[in-house]
Structure 1
Amino acid sequence: MARMSAEERRESVIQAATTEFARGGYHGTSTEAIARRVGVSQPYLFRLFPGKKAIFLATAERCVEDTIRMFAEAAQGREGEEARHAMGAAYIEAISEQPERLMMQMQMYLAVAAAEAEGDHEFGEAVRAGWMRLWDTIHLPLGADAHDTTTFLAQGMLINCLVAMGFPAGHRAWAGLGPSESSD
Protein backbone atom coordinates (compact mmCIF):
# COMPACT_ATOMS: atom_id res chain seq x y z
CA MET A 1 0.00 0.00 0.00
CA ALA A 2 1.40 3.40 -1.01
CA ARG A 3 2.18 5.94 1.67
CA MET A 4 -0.02 9.01 1.87
CA SER A 5 1.49 12.33 0.91
CA ALA A 6 1.48 15.15 3.46
CA GLU A 7 -1.37 16.77 1.51
CA GLU A 8 -3.41 13.56 1.65
CA ARG A 9 -2.74 13.35 5.39
CA ARG A 10 -3.81 17.00 5.81
CA GLU A 11 -7.02 16.12 4.01
CA SER A 12 -7.62 13.14 6.30
CA VAL A 13 -7.01 15.40 9.32
CA ILE A 14 -9.60 17.90 8.06
CA GLN A 15 -12.13 15.10 7.56
CA ALA A 16 -11.48 13.65 11.00
CA ALA A 17 -11.47 17.10 12.60
CA THR A 18 -14.84 17.86 11.03
CA THR A 19 -16.33 14.87 12.82
CA GLU A 20 -14.59 15.60 16.11
CA PHE A 21 -15.23 19.36 16.17
CA ALA A 22 -18.85 18.85 15.06
CA ARG A 23 -19.37 16.63 18.09
CA GLY A 24 -17.31 18.42 20.72
CA GLY A 25 -16.75 21.96 19.55
CA TYR A 26 -13.42 23.72 19.64
CA HIS A 27 -12.88 23.56 23.40
CA GLY A 28 -14.33 20.07 23.82
CA THR A 29 -12.18 18.43 21.15
CA SER A 30 -8.65 17.29 21.81
CA THR A 31 -5.95 17.05 19.20
CA GLU A 32 -5.35 13.57 20.61
CA ALA A 33 -8.87 12.54 19.50
CA ILE A 34 -8.26 13.94 16.02
CA ALA A 35 -4.88 12.20 15.73
CA ARG A 36 -6.39 8.92 16.93
CA ARG A 37 -9.23 9.18 14.37
CA VAL A 38 -6.69 9.81 11.58
CA GLY A 39 -4.35 7.10 12.81
CA VAL A 40 -1.33 9.33 13.36
CA SER A 41 0.60 10.51 16.38
CA GLN A 42 0.04 13.95 17.87
CA PRO A 43 3.58 15.03 16.96
CA TYR A 44 2.88 14.09 13.33
CA LEU A 45 -0.41 15.99 13.48
CA PHE A 46 1.55 19.07 14.54
CA ARG A 47 3.91 18.66 11.61
CA LEU A 48 0.87 18.98 9.35
CA PHE A 49 -0.75 21.85 11.29
CA PRO A 50 0.97 24.19 13.76
CA GLY A 51 -1.73 23.72 16.40
CA LYS A 52 -5.34 23.05 17.24
CA LYS A 53 -6.43 26.52 16.15
CA ALA A 54 -4.93 25.97 12.69
CA ILE A 55 -6.74 22.62 12.42
CA PHE A 56 -10.01 24.23 13.42
CA LEU A 57 -9.58 27.12 10.97
CA ALA A 58 -8.73 24.74 8.11
CA THR A 59 -11.78 22.64 8.99
CA ALA A 60 -14.02 25.72 9.18
CA GLU A 61 -12.69 26.93 5.83
CA ARG A 62 -13.47 23.54 4.28
CA CYS A 63 -16.98 23.60 5.72
CA VAL A 64 -17.64 27.03 4.21
CA GLU A 65 -16.05 26.16 0.86
CA ASP A 66 -18.09 22.94 0.60
CA THR A 67 -21.26 24.94 1.26
CA ILE A 68 -20.27 27.58 -1.30
CA ARG A 69 -19.57 24.89 -3.90
CA MET A 70 -22.91 23.21 -3.16
CA PHE A 71 -24.84 26.48 -3.60
CA ALA A 72 -22.92 27.39 -6.78
CA GLU A 73 -23.61 23.98 -8.33
CA ALA A 74 -27.29 24.11 -7.37
CA ALA A 75 -27.73 27.62 -8.81
CA GLN A 76 -25.76 26.99 -12.00
CA GLY A 77 -27.83 28.13 -14.99
CA ARG A 78 -30.65 29.35 -12.73
CA GLU A 79 -31.65 32.70 -11.30
CA GLY A 80 -34.27 34.24 -9.07
CA GLU A 81 -36.90 31.94 -7.60
CA GLU A 82 -35.61 28.93 -9.51
CA ALA A 83 -32.12 29.46 -8.03
CA ARG A 84 -33.54 30.02 -4.55
CA HIS A 85 -35.51 26.76 -4.66
CA ALA A 86 -32.56 24.78 -6.07
CA MET A 87 -30.12 26.15 -3.48
CA GLY A 88 -32.59 25.64 -0.65
CA ALA A 89 -33.30 22.05 -1.64
CA ALA A 90 -29.59 21.30 -2.00
CA TYR A 91 -28.90 22.75 1.44
CA ILE A 92 -31.69 20.84 3.17
CA GLU A 93 -30.51 17.63 1.53
CA ALA A 94 -26.87 18.25 2.48
CA ILE A 95 -27.44 18.97 6.15
CA SER A 96 -30.05 16.24 6.49
CA GLU A 97 -27.77 13.61 4.96
CA GLN A 98 -24.57 14.93 6.56
CA PRO A 99 -25.55 16.21 10.02
CA GLU A 100 -21.93 16.75 10.99
CA ARG A 101 -21.81 19.44 8.32
CA LEU A 102 -24.57 21.34 10.12
CA MET A 103 -23.01 20.74 13.52
CA MET A 104 -19.64 21.99 12.27
CA GLN A 105 -21.29 25.20 11.09
CA MET A 106 -22.86 25.70 14.50
CA GLN A 107 -19.57 24.97 16.24
CA MET A 108 -17.89 27.59 14.02
CA TYR A 109 -20.33 30.25 15.21
CA LEU A 110 -19.86 29.25 18.85
CA ALA A 111 -16.06 29.27 18.49
CA VAL A 112 -16.16 32.74 16.94
CA ALA A 113 -18.34 34.09 19.74
CA ALA A 114 -16.11 32.60 22.44
CA ALA A 115 -12.88 33.75 20.79
CA GLU A 116 -14.20 37.26 20.18
CA ALA A 117 -15.27 37.49 23.83
CA GLU A 118 -11.68 36.62 24.79
CA GLY A 119 -10.25 39.25 22.42
CA ASP A 120 -9.05 36.77 19.78
CA HIS A 121 -10.34 38.03 16.44
CA GLU A 122 -8.62 35.51 14.13
CA PHE A 123 -11.52 33.03 14.23
CA GLY A 124 -14.02 35.77 13.55
CA GLU A 125 -12.07 37.29 10.69
CA ALA A 126 -11.67 33.91 8.97
CA VAL A 127 -15.28 32.86 9.43
CA ARG A 128 -16.62 36.28 8.42
CA ALA A 129 -14.50 36.22 5.24
CA GLY A 130 -15.97 32.81 4.39
CA TRP A 131 -19.47 34.06 5.17
CA MET A 132 -18.99 36.96 2.74
CA ARG A 133 -17.90 34.53 -0.01
CA LEU A 134 -21.03 32.53 0.79
CA TRP A 135 -23.13 35.72 0.64
CA ASP A 136 -21.69 36.57 -2.80
CA THR A 137 -22.33 33.06 -4.09
CA ILE A 138 -26.00 33.30 -3.09
CA HIS A 139 -26.48 37.00 -3.85
CA LEU A 140 -25.90 36.92 -7.60
CA PRO A 141 -28.27 34.04 -8.51
CA LEU A 142 -30.95 35.72 -6.40
CA GLY A 143 -30.75 38.79 -8.64
CA ALA A 144 -28.25 40.70 -6.48
CA ASP A 145 -31.08 41.74 -4.19
CA ALA A 146 -29.88 42.27 -0.61
CA HIS A 147 -33.32 41.62 0.88
CA ASP A 148 -33.71 38.31 -0.98
CA THR A 149 -30.19 37.25 0.04
CA THR A 150 -30.80 38.15 3.67
CA THR A 151 -34.14 36.34 3.68
CA PHE A 152 -32.57 33.23 2.12
CA LEU A 153 -29.79 33.17 4.73
CA ALA A 154 -32.24 33.82 7.58
CA GLN A 155 -34.40 30.91 6.40
CA GLY A 156 -31.23 28.81 6.24
CA MET A 157 -30.52 29.56 9.88
CA LEU A 158 -34.09 28.55 10.75
CA ILE A 159 -33.60 25.34 8.77
CA ASN A 160 -30.39 24.73 10.75
CA CYS A 161 -32.37 24.95 13.97
CA LEU A 162 -35.19 22.70 12.72
CA VAL A 163 -32.79 20.01 11.54
CA ALA A 164 -30.67 20.25 14.71
CA MET A 165 -33.80 19.84 16.86
CA GLY A 166 -34.98 16.88 14.79
CA PHE A 167 -38.19 18.28 13.30
CA PRO A 168 -39.19 15.79 10.60
CA ALA A 169 -39.96 16.88 7.05
CA GLY A 170 -43.64 17.68 6.77
CA HIS A 171 -43.94 19.02 10.31
CA ARG A 172 -45.77 22.35 10.50
CA ALA A 173 -42.57 24.02 11.72
CA TRP A 174 -41.30 23.60 8.14
CA ALA A 175 -44.26 25.51 6.62
CA GLY A 176 -42.98 27.47 3.65
CA LEU A 177 -39.38 26.25 3.98
CA GLY A 178 -39.26 23.38 1.61
CA PRO A 179 -38.92 19.69 2.46
CA SER A 180 -42.64 19.06 2.00
CA GLU A 181 -45.93 20.65 2.85
CA SER A 182 -46.93 20.72 6.48
CA SER A 183 -48.83 17.68 7.69
CA ASP A 184 -48.36 17.94 11.46
Structure 2
Amino acid sequence: MVRMSAEERRESVVRAAIAEFAQRGYYGTSTEAIAKRVGVSQPYLFRLFPGKKAIFAAASLRCVDDVCRALEEAGKGLEGEEALHAMADAYVRLITENPEKLQMQMQTYITVAAAEAEGEHEFGEVVRNGWMKLWEIVHLPLGADVEETTTFMAYGMLINTLAAMGFPPEHRVWEGLYPEARVTGRLEKS
Protein backbone atom coordinates (compact mmCIF):
# COMPACT_ATOMS: atom_id res chain seq x y z
CA MET A 1 0.00 0.00 0.00
CA VAL A 2 1.40 3.39 -1.03
CA ARG A 3 1.12 6.11 1.60
CA MET A 4 -0.07 9.55 0.59
CA SER A 5 2.03 12.59 1.32
CA ALA A 6 0.55 15.38 3.43
CA GLU A 7 0.07 17.42 0.26
CA GLU A 8 -1.82 14.56 -1.40
CA ARG A 9 -3.98 14.23 1.73
CA ARG A 10 -4.63 17.99 1.68
CA GLU A 11 -5.76 17.63 -1.92
CA SER A 12 -8.06 14.76 -0.92
CA VAL A 13 -9.52 16.90 1.85
CA VAL A 14 -10.17 19.81 -0.53
CA ARG A 15 -11.97 17.52 -3.00
CA ALA A 16 -14.01 15.94 -0.21
CA ALA A 17 -14.78 19.35 1.27
CA ILE A 18 -16.07 20.62 -2.07
CA ALA A 19 -18.43 17.65 -2.29
CA GLU A 20 -19.64 17.99 1.31
CA PHE A 21 -19.93 21.80 1.44
CA ALA A 22 -21.61 21.86 -1.99
CA GLN A 23 -24.39 19.65 -0.64
CA ARG A 24 -24.85 21.04 2.85
CA GLY A 25 -23.19 24.45 2.98
CA TYR A 26 -20.74 25.72 5.55
CA TYR A 27 -23.09 25.55 8.52
CA GLY A 28 -24.61 22.17 7.60
CA THR A 29 -21.33 20.35 7.03
CA SER A 30 -19.36 18.76 9.81
CA THR A 31 -15.63 18.24 9.72
CA GLU A 32 -16.45 14.68 10.77
CA ALA A 33 -18.26 14.15 7.43
CA ILE A 34 -15.26 15.51 5.52
CA ALA A 35 -12.83 13.32 7.47
CA LYS A 36 -15.02 10.27 6.90
CA ARG A 37 -15.21 10.96 3.14
CA VAL A 38 -11.40 11.20 2.97
CA GLY A 39 -10.87 8.23 5.26
CA VAL A 40 -8.90 10.05 7.94
CA SER A 41 -9.52 10.94 11.55
CA GLN A 42 -10.68 14.40 12.59
CA PRO A 43 -7.42 15.02 14.49
CA TYR A 44 -5.48 14.24 11.31
CA LEU A 45 -7.75 16.60 9.37
CA PHE A 46 -6.81 19.37 11.82
CA ARG A 47 -3.13 18.64 11.32
CA LEU A 48 -3.66 19.48 7.65
CA PHE A 49 -5.94 22.51 8.21
CA PRO A 50 -6.28 24.66 11.33
CA GLY A 51 -10.08 24.47 11.32
CA LYS A 52 -13.34 24.27 9.42
CA LYS A 53 -13.04 27.85 8.12
CA ALA A 54 -9.65 27.06 6.59
CA ILE A 55 -11.06 23.94 4.92
CA PHE A 56 -14.01 25.89 3.54
CA ALA A 57 -11.73 28.67 2.31
CA ALA A 58 -9.46 26.15 0.55
CA ALA A 59 -12.47 24.51 -1.12
CA SER A 60 -13.92 27.86 -2.18
CA LEU A 61 -10.63 29.11 -3.58
CA ARG A 62 -10.11 25.84 -5.45
CA CYS A 63 -13.42 26.37 -7.23
CA VAL A 64 -12.49 29.95 -8.15
CA ASP A 65 -9.08 28.78 -9.36
CA ASP A 66 -10.69 26.04 -11.46
CA VAL A 67 -13.04 28.53 -13.10
CA CYS A 68 -10.17 30.97 -13.69
CA ARG A 69 -8.03 28.24 -15.23
CA ALA A 70 -10.86 27.01 -17.50
CA LEU A 71 -11.66 30.51 -18.76
CA GLU A 72 -8.03 31.48 -19.15
CA GLU A 73 -7.28 28.38 -21.21
CA ALA A 74 -10.40 28.84 -23.32
CA GLY A 75 -9.71 32.51 -24.05
CA LYS A 76 -5.98 32.14 -24.65
CA GLY A 77 -5.00 33.84 -27.91
CA LEU A 78 -8.61 34.82 -28.68
CA GLU A 79 -10.32 38.20 -28.63
CA GLY A 80 -13.80 39.67 -28.77
CA GLU A 81 -16.73 37.45 -29.76
CA GLU A 82 -14.48 34.47 -30.35
CA ALA A 83 -13.10 34.75 -26.80
CA LEU A 84 -16.55 35.36 -25.36
CA HIS A 85 -18.02 32.20 -26.88
CA ALA A 86 -14.98 30.07 -26.05
CA MET A 87 -15.00 31.19 -22.40
CA ALA A 88 -18.78 30.82 -22.10
CA ASP A 89 -18.60 27.31 -23.52
CA ALA A 90 -15.75 26.42 -21.16
CA TYR A 91 -17.70 27.69 -18.15
CA VAL A 92 -20.90 25.86 -19.04
CA ARG A 93 -18.88 22.69 -19.68
CA LEU A 94 -17.14 23.06 -16.30
CA ILE A 95 -20.35 23.39 -14.30
CA THR A 96 -22.15 20.75 -16.36
CA GLU A 97 -19.39 18.19 -15.93
CA ASN A 98 -18.70 19.17 -12.30
CA PRO A 99 -22.01 20.31 -10.78
CA GLU A 100 -20.48 20.30 -7.29
CA LYS A 101 -18.29 23.23 -8.40
CA LEU A 102 -21.40 25.26 -9.19
CA GLN A 103 -23.03 24.31 -5.90
CA MET A 104 -19.82 25.17 -4.04
CA GLN A 105 -19.76 28.59 -5.70
CA MET A 106 -23.32 29.24 -4.58
CA GLN A 107 -22.52 28.05 -1.03
CA THR A 108 -19.50 30.36 -1.01
CA TYR A 109 -21.63 33.41 -1.82
CA ILE A 110 -24.11 32.50 0.92
CA THR A 111 -21.31 32.00 3.44
CA VAL A 112 -19.65 35.31 2.54
CA ALA A 113 -22.98 37.10 3.06
CA ALA A 114 -23.51 35.40 6.43
CA ALA A 115 -19.96 36.17 7.58
CA GLU A 116 -20.24 39.80 6.48
CA ALA A 117 -23.53 40.13 8.39
CA GLU A 118 -21.69 38.90 11.49
CA GLY A 119 -18.91 41.45 10.97
CA GLU A 120 -16.37 38.88 9.71
CA HIS A 121 -14.83 40.39 6.59
CA GLU A 122 -11.66 38.35 6.09
CA PHE A 123 -13.24 35.48 4.16
CA GLY A 124 -15.26 37.90 2.03
CA GLU A 125 -12.08 39.76 1.14
CA VAL A 126 -10.40 36.53 0.03
CA VAL A 127 -13.41 35.60 -2.13
CA ARG A 128 -13.63 39.12 -3.59
CA ASN A 129 -9.94 38.92 -4.54
CA GLY A 130 -10.65 35.64 -6.35
CA TRP A 131 -13.60 37.25 -8.11
CA MET A 132 -11.37 40.12 -9.26
CA LYS A 133 -8.84 37.64 -10.63
CA LEU A 134 -11.68 36.05 -12.59
CA TRP A 135 -12.82 39.51 -13.75
CA GLU A 136 -9.36 40.29 -15.14
CA ILE A 137 -9.11 36.92 -16.90
CA VAL A 138 -12.38 37.69 -18.71
CA HIS A 139 -11.78 41.43 -19.11
CA LEU A 140 -8.64 41.33 -21.25
CA PRO A 141 -9.83 38.92 -23.98
CA LEU A 142 -13.05 40.94 -24.22
CA GLY A 143 -11.01 43.97 -25.23
CA ALA A 144 -10.81 45.41 -21.71
CA ASP A 145 -14.38 46.62 -22.25
CA VAL A 146 -16.13 47.12 -18.92
CA GLU A 147 -19.62 46.67 -20.37
CA GLU A 148 -18.67 43.44 -22.18
CA THR A 149 -17.03 42.08 -19.05
CA THR A 150 -19.99 43.04 -16.87
CA THR A 151 -22.42 41.43 -19.30
CA PHE A 152 -20.33 38.24 -19.45
CA MET A 153 -20.15 38.01 -15.66
CA ALA A 154 -23.88 38.77 -15.33
CA TYR A 155 -24.73 35.98 -17.76
CA GLY A 156 -22.49 33.69 -15.74
CA MET A 157 -24.40 34.46 -12.56
CA LEU A 158 -27.71 33.92 -14.37
CA ILE A 159 -26.41 30.56 -15.60
CA ASN A 160 -25.38 29.75 -12.00
CA THR A 161 -28.82 30.61 -10.68
CA LEU A 162 -30.79 28.72 -13.36
CA ALA A 163 -28.54 25.67 -13.14
CA ALA A 164 -28.62 25.68 -9.31
CA MET A 165 -32.42 25.73 -9.46
CA GLY A 166 -32.29 22.64 -11.64
CA PHE A 167 -33.68 23.92 -14.94
CA PRO A 168 -32.87 21.26 -17.55
CA PRO A 169 -30.84 22.35 -20.59
CA GLU A 170 -33.84 22.15 -22.93
CA HIS A 171 -36.08 24.37 -20.74
CA ARG A 172 -37.30 27.63 -22.27
CA VAL A 173 -35.61 29.73 -19.56
CA TRP A 174 -32.36 29.16 -21.42
CA GLU A 175 -33.71 30.59 -24.69
CA GLY A 176 -32.16 33.88 -25.63
CA LEU A 177 -29.45 33.62 -23.02
CA TYR A 178 -26.89 34.07 -25.76
CA PRO A 179 -28.10 35.73 -28.95
CA GLU A 180 -26.01 33.47 -31.19
CA ALA A 181 -26.08 30.29 -29.18
CA ARG A 182 -28.42 27.91 -27.42
CA VAL A 183 -27.90 25.88 -24.28
CA THR A 184 -28.15 22.13 -24.69
CA GLY A 185 -26.02 21.04 -21.78
CA ARG A 186 -23.29 23.18 -23.28
CA LEU A 187 -23.31 26.17 -25.59
CA GLU A 188 -23.48 25.43 -29.28
CA LYS A 189 -23.65 27.94 -32.09
CA SER A 190 -27.03 27.85 -33.80
Give the TM-score band, short-chain normalised: over 0.9
Distance 2:111 2:38 in 1: 23
Amino acid of the residue matched to residue 179 of structure 1? Answer: V
Distance 2:115 2:183 in 1: 35
Distance 1:58 1:160 in 2: 21
Q: What corresponds to 1:38 in structure 2?
A: 38
What per-residue deviation string (whole Å, max 9, x for no partner) do you get for residues 75-112 of structure 1?
11211101100111111111112110100000000000
Distance 1:123 1:111 in 2: 9
Deviation at 1:175, TM superposition (A): 1.9
Deviation at 1:168, TM superposition (A): 2.2
Flag structure 1 segments of 5+ consecutive residues without an equivalent: none
Please give the residue correspondences for 1:22-171 in structure 2 after superposition, counting only pairs within 5 Å: 22-171=22-171
Work out the number of aligned pairs and report it: 181
Distance 2:169 2:3 in 1: 44
> Do the aligned residues in 2 keep the contact of 1:89 with 1:179 (CA within 8 Å)?
no
Amino acid of the residue matched to residue 153 of structure 1? Answer: M
SS at match of 1:126: helix
Aligned-pair identity in percent equals 69
Q: What corresponds to 2:183 in structure 1?
A: 179
Amino acid of the residue matched to residue 25 of structure 1? Answer: G
Range moving further from structure 2, 166-175 or 50-59: 166-175
Q: Following superposition, which runs of at least 4 residues in structure 1 exceed 3 angstroms of deviation?
A: none
Deviation at 1:31, TM superposition (A): 0.3
SS at match of 2:4: coil
Give the TM-score, by structure 2 length: 0.92
Range moving further from structure 2, 167-176 or 113-122: 167-176
